[in-house]
Amino acid sequence: MSDVFISYARSTEDEARRIAEVLRGLGHGVWRDDQTPAHLDYSKVIEERLQSAKAVVVLWSEEAVKSQWVCAEADVARAKGTLVQLSLDGATPPLPFNRIQCAELRGWRGDTKAPGWRQVAASVAELVGSAQGAPAAGSAPARKLSICVLPFANMSGDPEQEYFSDGISEDIITDLSKVAALHVISRNTAFQFKGRHVDLRQAARQLEVSHVLEGSVRKAGGRVRITAQLIEGASDGHVWADRWDRDLTDIFALQDEVSEAIVKALKLKLLPEEKKAIERRGTDSAEAYDLCLMARQYLASGNTDRRGLEAVLRLCRRASEIDPNYARAWALMAQAMATLRFRHGSGGEDGLATAERALALDPDLAEAHAVKAGYLHASDRRDEAHAELGLALRLDPDSFEVRASAGYLYFRERRLKEAIAHYEAACALMETAFSPPGMLITCYAAVGDRQGLERAGKIALERAEKAVALDGHNGQALGFGAGALAALGDAERTREWVARAMLVDPENRSMRYNLACALSLHLKDIDGALELLGPYLETATWTELGHVEVDPDIDPIREHPRMRALVADAWARVDAAKGTRPAPAA
């Protein structure tokens, strides 16, 4: 197996070939995508090579910065600690990669004595050598300090306060990521340890970090208590520990203190711009901040039925009333409005105007750009939509909302391999969300990847079962859970879940559609699927019918006479009101 993986945009293929040849000359096994055997699945080979590589060399260029594939590959490498990056034409790596050292190789023609190349070669030698158990001769010095912030335990005695402890953990990860001299493990990797007893020394060794932070949060009666301790991975020794008891209104000052205390304990010095970035919260209102954490938890839970989305709107409206300049409240509100419109056929408030309001307050808010991309795409302004989505991904490739939006946009174009890459990222970024693995079931089934389908099915089922255990009326979880059971071949349990779902929430249109997909694609129950789809199509919106036209789950019944009649009637109804149809998939 090759030690080095080369990631690049197609326009820099000559440079990628030259770099691969020089690295091979240094004795490294090198792989790039021109070596994919014709009989194997392209995306599967890429994933295997990427995961097994000891060093991933990312060649940034103007095209690479815009490439979803290059950004996704760089993201995997960053999480695994195998990223080595260089710029071929002076292009700056997108966020968050611009916080990591990047060698300058503009105009490089193979000179192994060039400073930029020596930097790349030393980094590759260090990663490949250390992965083999001994540093390579002449390798670069040990990598900078690194830390994993484990999810803080909720000590409030109320499971519904989990959103707050998770929010504090995420904010500390975000704050520490702004310190250039510190490598911080991503949220999706850190949250894999949530709810588990963790051997800190083993975790540090597994993640290859120098330090681990663990702590707890207790919120009650307008007061908050945070405890935290910093552990050195190699020795399992306590470096620092502290406890804070404050009024909830002091939460921002408290978060700043925690982050700055960690930096101080690591014997690092904050640069003035880093300190300023850490202290930038978007609002001065602890109440508005708390309301937005609660709203985001609703969205992250996957319970995006009408009931859950309307709760998000109420929370965000209240937050925006408290602080009209809180951009994140407007962005979350826009996301809920967009989902209500595009997934549930609501003709309510305009999420695009709300997203624009958020961007006027904070032009760098990735989630608002993703919402705007969805509206542009629905208006058949695809080039503008992709530009907006590309900006969102550059601003925050670690955003669950952005990745899920990107997956859906590519799904709507039936560009399923691109959709898979983003849904996989979304799946990893939010460990409770069942919608991304549910969408992956459809994508993997359509591209003929049975192994990927079964893996996604198991993840979706596990998450849906947990969600239903917490809320037996979660129609979205019941719908996706039934789909997962059907994909895994359990027909009996599938029918049990379908029956339960229709008893619990018969008016949930999105759930009804998902149940029909499960019956159509996996159980080949044509009559059952059509019975579920009939009422859905009678009220389907223009956007929803566009989704039906491209959804692979509908393929088995697409040409059925009854289905064709239902769809034709639905189009006649919406065309009479709107006068246009969405463009066909590219």
- SS3 readout for 410-454: HHHCCCHHHHHHHHHHHHHHCCCCCHHHHHHHHHHHHHCCHHHHH
Radius of gyration over alpha carbons of the chain, in Å? 25
Which two three-digit tokens encode residue 355? 């997203």
Residue 234 confidence (pLDDT): 80
Name the least confident of 22-36, 75-89, 330-344, 572-586: 572-586
Q: To the nearest 10°, the Cα dihedral for 185, 190, 192, 197?
A: 130
> pLDDT tens, 354-376?
999 999 999 989 999 999 999 99
**Cα gap 210→143, rounded to integer Å:** 10
Enumerate long-range contacts of 197-200, CB under 8 Å, 24 or more apart.
198/150, 200/231, 200/233, 200/236
Task: Give the pLDDT score at 140.
Answer: 37
Q: What is the pLDDT of residues 367-423, one digit of tens each?
A: 999 999 999 998 889 999 999 999 998 888 878 889 999 999 999 999 998 899 899
Question: What is d(CA 417, CA 47) in angstroms, rounded to the nearest whole number?
Answer: 12
Q: Quickly state the pLDDT bin for 578 (edges 50, 70, 90).
A: low
- CATH 1.25.40.10 residue ranges for the chain: 283-363
Query: Does 106 or 441 have the greater pLDDT score?
Result: 441
Q: How sure is the predictor about 303, in pLDDT bands with cuts at 50, 70 and 90? A: low
Q: Model confidence at 115, in pLDDT bands (50, 70, 90)?
A: confident
pLDDT digits (tens, 9 = 90+) for 19-44: 988 888 788 888 876 544 433 444 56
Per-residue model confidence (pLDDT) at position 143:
47
User: What mean pLDDT do residues 486-511 have?
Assistant: 92
Q: Which residue has the higher pLDDT, 357 or 234?
A: 357
CATH 3.40.50.10140 spans which residues of the chain?
Answer: 4-131
Q: Are 530 and 563 in contact (CB under 8 A)?
A: yes
pLDDT at 41: 46
Pairing of strands 237-247, 223-232: antiparallel
The pLDDT of residue 410:
93
Q: Which residue has the higher pLDDT, 227 or 189?
A: 227
Alpha helices by DSSP H, 238-305:
251-265, 272-278, 286-300
Q: How confident is the model at residue 236 (pLDDT cuts 50, 70, 90)?
A: confident
Q: What is the mean pLDDT of residues 561-586?
A: 76
Give the span between the Cα atoms of 245 and 220, in whole angstroms: 11
Q: Which fold has domain 453-586?
A: 1.25.40
Q: Is 17 helix (H, G, I), strand (E, B) or coil?
A: helix
pLDDT of residue 301: 64
- Percent above pLDDT 90 for the chain: 37
| The pLDDT of residue 39 | 37
Q: How confident is the model at residue 583 (pLDDT cuts 50, 70, 90)?
A: very low
Q: Is the pLDDT at 121 greater than 60, yes or no? A: yes
* Cα gap 342→32, rounded to integer Å: 39
Residues 236-265 have a mean pLDDT of: 88
Tokens 């509206």 locate to 375
Residue 226 has a pLDDT of 92
Name which of 378, 345, 350 is nearest 538 in CA terms.
Answer: 345
Q: Which of 250-259, 337-346, 458-467 has the highest mean pLDDT?
A: 458-467
When pLDDT is averaged across residues 55-61 and rounded to a whole number, the result is 93
Question: What is the homologous superfamily of the domain 283-363 according to CATH?
Answer: Tetratricopeptide repeat domain (1.25.40.10)
Instruction: Specify whether domain 4-131 bears CATH 1.10.579.10.
Output: no
**What band does 476 get if pLDDT is binned at 50, 70 and 90?**
confident
How far is the CA of 135 from the CAs of 119, 124, 139, 287, in angstroms?
A: 15, 11, 7, 51
Statement: residue 148 has pLDDT above 60: yes
Label residues 262-286 b or e (16+ Cβ within 10 Å = b).
bbebbebebeeebbeebeebbbebb
> pLDDT-based confidence at 142, cuts 50/70/90?
very low
DSSP 133-161: TSPPTTPPPPPPPEEEEPPPEE-SS-GGG
Indicate the pLDDT class of residue 93, thresholds 50, 70 and 90: confident
Q: Is the pLDDT of residue 428 over 60?
A: yes
Instruction: Answer whether residue 1 shows pLDDT above 80.
Output: no
Q: Evaluate the CA torsion angle 156, 157, 161, 163 in order and state its sign.
A: positive
Q: What is the C-alpha separation between 531 and 539, in angstroms, rounded?
A: 14
Q: Average pLDDT, whole number, for the chain?
A: 85
d(CA 353, CA 334): 8
Report the CATH superfamily, name and number, of domain 146-281: ABC-type transport auxiliary lipoprotein component (3.40.50.10610)
At 144 the pLDDT is 61
* Position 430 pLDDT exceeds 90: no
Q: What percent of the chain has pLDDT over 70?
A: 91
pLDDT at 582 over 70: no
Q: What is the mean pLDDT of residues 433-443?
A: 93
